[in-house]
Amino acid sequence: MGHSRAYAVFRTTDAREAYARAWRLVGLLARVEAAMYVETVVRTVAEARRMVALLPGATVDHAETAFDPDTGACVPCPPDMATATDAAIQAELPLVVAADVPVGSVDEEFLRGLGDGPASMDWRGLWPEDPEAEGSPSAQYDGVQVVFHADEAQWTERTAHHTVFVHVRKPGDAARAAGLAALIGGEVLGDVQIGW
């Protein structure tokens, strides 16, 4: 098992430009899985309601593990978002809303609905064979990710910019990442990161 290796290949403060570059990379995959994964941290009731409506069946959880102050026990997931009052949702914020959705089905609405918190769109697939690459493509590890308001593939800190990543098999394939970055007018930025 293990994780992919993620190479940042483009960074901007324009969310739509980051998405456009990521989508160009998705078009370069030899095969793309039918579902993509979207995830966002929501910080307001309006954001929470908007994303839950956009992503029916999404998982909703605390952005940080919550503990009962009296017992120390882990607090369960927040109430049913469809029936919860604004006050009940407000008490649980920030929340993470995540879902697997068909590729291309929510992209525009997801971009419009982005709030101030970190978010990501992940497309898994298979890179084409490349004789100059260090390794073979891998359906388990290959893909494209755009993170909004973050500069790490496994985002933890909020930033003002948005970052596009290519994911490759472990132990990594820097040559493939550099070649893909060049195709979208980018370059490998920083060190390789742990991916999905």
Contact 14, 8 (CB under 8 A): no
> Is the per-residue pLDDT at 77 higher than 70?
yes
pLDDT at 107: 97
pLDDT at 76: 76
Which carries the bigger pLDDT value, residue 132 or residue 3? Answer: 3
Contact 18, 162 (CB under 8 A): yes
Q: What is the pTM of this model?
A: 0.92
Mapped onto helix, strand or coil, the DSSP state of residue 192 is strand
Q: Is the dihedral of CA 24, 7, 112, 105 positive or negative?
A: positive
Average the pLDDT over 51-69 and give the result.
Answer: 88
Q: Name the least confident of 75-89, 100-114, 132-146, 150-164.
A: 75-89
pLDDT at 72: 82
Distance of CA 192 to the CA centre of its chain: 17
Residue of 122, 194, 186, 107 whose CA lies nearest to 156: 194
Name the pairing type of β-strands 35-42 and 31-32: unpaired
Q: Name the least confident of 5-14, 66-75, 166-175.
A: 66-75
Residue 19 phi, psi dihedral angles, 5° rounding: -60, -45
Average the pLDDT over 98-114 and give the result.
Answer: 96
Mapped onto helix, strand or coil, the DSSP state of residue 54 is helix
Average pLDDT taken over every residue of the chain = 92
pLDDT at 1: 54
